Amino acid sequence: MPKLKSLLQTEAAQCGHACLAMVLDYYGREMDALELQREFPSSMRGATLADLIEVAQAAGLQCRALRIELEELPLLQMPAVLHWDMSHFVVLAKANAREIVIHDPATGVRRMRMREASEHFTGVALEASPTAEFRKRELDGGISLRHLVGQVVGLKRSAAQILALSLMLQMFGLLTPFYMQWVLDDAIVAQDIPLLWLLSAGFVLSMLIGAAIGWLRSWCLAYLSARIGLQWFGSILAHLVRLPMDYFQKRHLGDVVSRMESVHAIQNTLSSSFIEAILDGLMVAIALAVMASYSGELLLVSVTALAVYLLLRWATFPTIRRLSEQQLAAAATQNTHLLESIRGIQALKLNAAEAMRRATFDTLMAETTNLGLAIQRFALRLGMANQTLFGLERVLVVGLAASAVIDGRMSAGMLVAYLAYKEMFTGGVSRLIDTWISFRTLRVQAERLADIVLTAPEETGGGDGPDLPRHRPLALEVRGLRYRFSGTDPWVIDGCDLSVAPGETIALAGPSGCGKTTLMKLMLGLLEPDAGEIRVDGRPIHAIGLRRYRRAVAAVMQDDQVFAGTIAENIAFGCETPDPADIEAAAIAACIHDEIVRMPMGYQSLIGDMGSALSGGQKQRIILARALFKRPSLLFLDEATSHLDMDAEHAVNEAVRALRLTKIVIAHRPDTIASADRVLVMAEGRIRGEYRPAALPGASPPPYARSGVAAV
């Protein structure tokens, strides 16, 4: 019978598609998080039941939507998709009259009583089964840790050094039982005092050498761990910042931070447990051979106890994995809530919502803590079982070994040595089992990190053509542009065409939500169009290369941020060796210079996205100065003067208008619109008309006949 695999969503609004992927996997079309993201791109707005049915039918499933009562859940064909909490989807795996088991793409596997389920189930369910067109498929392979780790410079050499030191340390440890045997059987029996002192001196020397080797190994291990962490975290961060904007728009900030923190968990396991597992394996092999030479009967007792322990860990692994998944998901939600509370502290205070926000955070924190306690409680039970099992094994081995000594089949020294080797053997094997379970549990962290590492970065390269000319205006042309957030969403941009001549200033106007900002993001290369083409100076953007294109353009967007640092560092953002004269010139052009020099520290005044004494208008002009510092040939402004008073707005508009470059402006305010050469009116995702402000002095623009066009 096929097994239903739990698959967690990687995006904020991906629950419906994740549920559908679990159903597909159950019927033989294997899915993982990466395949889910590639095959079922979700919308930032979520999915309706109709959307899921459409996608399921395209994948070869026949669906039946039902409205049922809670007590009818056991009658469903499982796995079935349930509508949950009015805004979520889960998969029903099992159901009877008392309880149900669901696979929640947000938290993992959950078992709950019918009374608890009644608080969440909305009464809507979706049955799905394969049709004749359904095709099974196996994935090429799992997520490779090597792929996640990548190349770490000096890893092989450092690992070889640590391994060599560890081998020497193990050899000294394996000699210790022989010391006890020789003292008991040779020195004491023969009453040979010189031999006793010789053995003692030899083993004191070996202990000192072993201590030195142990210290050296620990230092090498700490150095290797730090080196792996530095290189690996840096390379993953470099990959993260190269991901497309679409990746960040679909995820919560706390979830992205939580996935990055998975690096440390994987790093600690790989840098220590992996090498220790190799050494434990070698020590176990040697101890096994020595124990077999002493007594096969005693060895069988230890092997039986270890087999029972292995079965116990194997049987409890699914529970450990489930609890780990739930704790990571809960911790990510808690982090998101905390970050949102800190960033939105002003809104919290203005709405007197501190107590409500604190109560929600306490609930999330309690959930995370309870899951952590559940993991600890489970670990304590395993520890108690381990202690009981190997305590019984130890008593039985000592009894059988003592009988062998009494019968003359073993000497007292052999008994002591065997017991020492037995502890090495059972301890080594149990650590190997625990490490193996840790590696399997580590897959939970690896799958979370894979959402970052295995997501393709945006294509920033280009052809072999020349760079865009600097310090002269550029022409821009858009033809047949179409874009929507997902395959089930309506078109945000639908057949948009426009052209901008070199040096021309174009204003995009229209009602809020008509697609102006989305169009600007497409022209900046932040979003990838579904159809159509954007050409700059007659060349497609991707033929130029996004990196080269962005060096020639600049933008001020609605949600742009200033960064922690000085005003000068923010204006010269991205330039390692800026010229102070260029910084000052950009500030003058943005009409912020006079206000900066009146500050006590001038351009060295510290600012940031929080805790800054700057007004909204000052921040906006510093961001504009940052754009002008690049000396772009093409400038995009998305309501860049929305926080300014009328006089300041007019001054900025006149200063920007005097610049010799091509400008595309989104605006609603009359002064900014009046500064444009042409105004393009957008509605329903396309350009519906245009007019020239200069042709309408002191008058309102004419209305446009087509629906959805607002007067500007």
User: What residues are annotated to the active site?
Assistant: 15
Q: What is the DSSP string of 467-490?
A: PPPSSS---EEEEEEEE-SSTTSP
Q: How many helices (H) and strands (E) does the chain have?
A: 24, 18
515/31 Cα distance (integer angstroms): 34
Token pair belonging to 287: 């101890």
Distance of alpha carbon 356 from the chain centroid? 28
User: Which has the closest alpha carbon to 672: 627, 702, 632, 640?
Assistant: 640
For residue 188, the one-letter residue type is I
In contact, 137 and 98? CB cutoff 8 Å: no
Please return the burial class of 667, using the count of CB atoms within 10 Å of its CB with bins 0-12, 13-18 and 19+: buried
User: Which has the closest alpha carbon to 135: 77, 80, 73, 60?
Assistant: 60
In contact, 65 and 53? CB cutoff 8 Å: yes
User: Which has the closest alpha carbon to 482: 315, 177, 217, 686?
Assistant: 686
593/39 Cα distance (integer angstroms): 51
3-state SS class at 682: strand
At CA 98, angle to CA 93 and CA 101, rounded to 5?
A: 20
214/559 Cα distance (integer angstroms): 54
Question: Whose structure tokens read 């100076």?
Answer: 537
3-state SS class at 598: coil
Token pair belonging to 88: 């979520």
Q: What is the DSSP string of 216-236?
A: HHHHHHHHHHHHHHHHHHHHH
At CA 301, angle to CA 300 and CA 307, rounded to 5?
A: 85
Q: Which residues are 607's β-sheet partners?
A: 565
551/469 Cα distance (integer angstroms): 11
